[in-house]
Amino acid sequence: MNNCKFCNIREDVQYETESSFAILDKYPVTKYHTLIIPKRHVESYFELTDVEHMDCINLINVIKTTLSKLDDTITGFNVGANVGKDAGQTLFHCHIHLIPRRKNDTENPRGGIRRVISKKGDWQKIMKT
């Protein structure tokens, strides 16, 4: 894809495998927010082959381990992919976010990724109603 930003990345690659690579996010949520990107142009995480999927997962694990050793303030991670416009995907080349988390980086981290839809993150509170 000639106009795809991720297909045309040649520099700033932090990690690379046979079918994927990783770069630091240009608009990071936290320090060391990393994008894991398959080399083959596919729009959706669900279009990855089994080999590409495992390669991305393995790369996530390598980066997680490396970042944990590099920065001892990291105490957790969020991992996620936006699939489709209605899920917030804005760049239509599959990519997976690895977001390092730190103690007190937000007032209330409870619910984590469930908070992508406002007021839906506190599942225990929802269950009581």
Q: Where are the domains of the chain?
A: 13-128
Report pLDDT for 81. Answer: 96
Report pLDDT for 127. Answer: 54
Which residues are known catalytic residues?
95
Report pLDDT for 125. Answer: 59
The CATH H-level superfamily of 13-128 is: HIT-like (3.30.428.10)
pTM of the model: 0.88
User: Quick count: other Cβ atoms within 10 Å of Cβ 111?
Assistant: 16
The string over 33-66, giving b where at least 16 C-beta atoms fall within 10 Å of a residue's C-beta and e elsewhere, is bbbbbbbeeeeebeebeeebbebbeebbeebbee
Residue 114, CB-side half-sphere exposure with 13 Å CA sphere: 12
Report pLDDT for 116. Answer: 67
Per-residue confidence of the chain (129 residues) as pLDDT tens digits? Answer: 578 999 988 788 999 999 999 999 999 999 999 999 999 999 999 999 999 999 999 999 999 999 999 999 999 999 999 999 999 899 999 999 999 999 998 888 887 777 666 655 555 555 565
